[in-house]
Amino acid sequence: MVVRSHARVSSLTLKSIQYTDAGEYICTASNTIGQDSQSMYLEVQYAPKLQGPVAVYTWEGNQVNITCEVFAYPSATISWFRDGQLLPSSNYSNIKIYNTPSASYLEVTPDSENDFGNYNCTAVNRIGQESLEFILVQADTPSSPSIDQVEPYSSTAQVQFDEPEATGGVPILKYKAEWRAMGEEVWHFKWYDAKEASMEGIVTIVGLKPETTYAVRLAALNGKGLGEISAASEFKTQPVHSPPPQGEPSAPKLEGQMGEDGNSIKVNLIKQDDGGSPIRHYLVKYRAKLSSDWKPEIRLPSGSDHVMLKSLDWNAEYEVYVVAENQQGKSKAAHFVFRTSAQPTAIPANGSPTAGLSTGAIVGILIVIFVLLLVVVDITCYFLNKCGLLMCIAVNLCGKAGPGAKGKDMEEGKAAFSKDESKEPIVEVRTEEERTPNHDGGKHTEPNETTPLTEPEKGPVEAKSESQETETKPAPAEVKTVPNDATQTKENESKA
């Protein structure tokens, strides 16, 4: 990579360019006044490059994926072949192909030994092509573990072992321990998780009788099946000792199980001889080996079978001491050493901002927000539309219709008269008894917002003649026609 600058031009020269050189390049110019930048994108076209595990293990009836990762620009077309024949085909009905932009997956479910062997992945684009051979291998059961040492106690025994030399091509899932007393025909057994057992290379068998000779053997299990069983190793459990002069209990046995977060551990406490006196409690202390300070001592009840150590330093070696104590005194300290995982670079998926809040707190916050929203909406309806909960309270308790209610009624009355788009007149029918004082020739009253508009009032002579006629004639229903047209209303007002 060479950079040259001359006058107002700067150039970047890439030599022996690779596909990894593709990406964004930014040119920045600056002086005492300021700076400016311009980005450019470099695209590198190259022939396909293939990657993936060459050997894939499985067994008959077990589905497996052969992964062919493809790096190419422009995009490549991927094909699978078996013995020169393009897949899938009618001869291989137990094969499926799934493609993504970056990989192709050949799903194989072997039916017989004929399905094991070589498979070819070929990728082609206009720059070139590349092929990669994959081998589908028939998995086998694992070889037997080897027992190194057995440490017996009065009722338990710890078996130290080495993992099998051959796993059969697939991961070991569990270990099986079998034991029996000498002279017995039936083997007792227990399954142990491979991760827990392999961490320390120890399994513990319990429920043994004191001063009894036993034989123990181990076997490993993978997806294909149970492997060979190891040769039997004999041991004799210890007797139950009468309390020594001090009567101290025996130290517990310790087993560790790392947590999924990588910086916590569960230390299991396996009770041993209590020295003839019930154990009162366990005392636990621990520290990082490089630290001179011990963490605060932990006191566990006598019935405890484990202790959890959390928030440990990353990638640090720790040592743990556990002491059992009864009424006669303390046992020797049981010692256990472990190392935490390296600190992960990715942020855990569960590290959300609300991870520290309980479900009840979150529900409570949502309810408060909902109530506040209802209050805001109700206040808005009260002042704008004269409705809502506050409006009901104002009417029922204070006897008021709320601010601006009168203006609203006037606006509604005016709207009924002057804003009716239909030109049909408004007809009012009333009886003689419902006449207003204006019809009886009484004192003239001022119209208000509820007084209906009427025709112009007649003179006194006309009013008198009409009153005489009403004395001799039955009271007919009055039909008044009130025009809705604003122009006619103005004319009637001018006549009056």
CATH of the domain at 215: 2.60.40.10
- Same domain for 314 and 394, yes or no, is no
pLDDT at residue 385, as a whole number: 75
Please tell me which residue, 469 or 176, carries the higher pLDDT value. Answer: 176
- Same domain for 272 and 332, yes or no, is yes
Q: What is the mean pLDDT of residues 384-392?
A: 73
**Is 344 among the domain residues?**
no
Write out pLDDT tens, residues 47-85: 999 999 999 999 999 999 999 999 999 999 999 999 888
Peptide bond into 447 cis (omega under 30): no
Write out pLDDT tens, residues 22-43: 899 999 988 899 999 999 999 9
**Is 348 among the domain residues?**
no
Write out pLDDT tens, residues 178-234: 999 999 999 999 999 998 887 778 899 988 999 999 999 999 999 999 999 999 999
The CA distances from residue 200 to 36, 267, 392, 468, 482, in Å, are 60, 12, 75, 125, 105
Q: Which residues of 187-220 are buried (b: 16+ CB within 10 A; e: fewer)?
A: eeeeebebebbbebebbbbeebeeebebbbbbbb
**Is 370 among the domain residues?**
no
Q: What is the C-alpha to C-alpha distance for residues 229 and 358, in angstroms, rounded to an integer?
A: 50
pLDDT at residue 401, as a whole number: 55
- pLDDT of residue 150 exceeding 70: yes
**Is 259 among the domain residues?**
yes
Number of domains the chain contains: 6
- Same domain for 219 and 156, yes or no, is yes
- pLDDT of residue 458 exceeding 80: no
Within 245-386, strands assigned E span 253-258, 265-270, 279-288, 298-301, 306-309, 317-326, 334-339
Please tell me which residue, 408 or 393, carries the higher pLDDT value. Answer: 393
- Same domain for 317 and 389, yes or no, is no
**Is 242 among the domain residues?**
no
- Same domain for 127 and 63, yes or no, is yes
- Same domain for 229 and 262, yes or no, is no
Q: 158: domain range?
A: 146-236
Question: Burial, 54: exposed, middle or buried (Cβ in 10 Å; 0-12, 13-18, 19+)?
Answer: exposed
Please tell me which residue, 87 or 435, carries the higher pLDDT value. Answer: 87
pLDDT at residue 247, as a whole number: 66
**Is 393 among the domain residues?**
yes
Binning pLDDT at 50, 70 and 90, where does residue 250 land? confident
- Same domain for 392 and 427, yes or no, is no
Binning pLDDT at 50, 70 and 90, where does residue 359 land? confident
- Same domain for 154 and 94, yes or no, is no
Q: What is the mean pLDDT of residues 156-161?
A: 92
- Same domain for 15 and 75, yes or no, is no
Q: What is the mean pLDDT of residues 486-494?
A: 44
- Same domain for 80 and 109, yes or no, is yes
Whole-model pTM: value is: 0.47
Closest CA to 320 of 370, 267, 243, 374: 267
Most confident of 147-161, 239-253, 360-374, 376-390: 147-161
**Is 465 among the domain residues?**
yes
- Same domain for 8 and 24, yes or no, is yes
- Same domain for 259 and 329, yes or no, is yes
Closest CA to 147 of 195, 186, 226, 205: 205
Please tell me which residue, 51 or 484, carries the higher pLDDT value. Answer: 51
Per DSSP, helices labelled H in 331-455 are 359-384, 389-398, 405-418
Tokens coding 54: 């060459």
Q: What is the C-alpha to C-alpha distance for residues 369 and 367, in angstroms, rounded to an integer?
A: 5
Closest CA to 173 of 149, 193, 153: 193
Binning pLDDT at 50, 70 and 90, where does residue 349 land? very low
**Is 356 among the domain residues?**
no
> If you average pLDDT over every residue of the chain, what do you get?
79
* Residues pairing with 41 in the sheet: 24
Q: Which of 278, 313, 339 is the last residue of a domain?
A: 339
Q: Hey, how many other C-beta atoms are within 10 angstroms of the C-beta on 27?
A: 13
Q: Which of 289, 313, 339 is the last residue of a domain?
A: 339
Q: What is the mean pLDDT of residues 266-291?
A: 86
Q: Which of 112, 138, 164 is the last residue of a domain?
A: 138
Binning pLDDT at 50, 70 and 90, where does residue 403 land? low
Write out pLDDT tens, residues 413-432: 444 444 444 444 444 444 44
Residue the block writes with tokens 């897949």: 87
Please tell me which residue, 2 or 217, carries the higher pLDDT value. Answer: 217
pLDDT at residue 6, as a whole number: 74
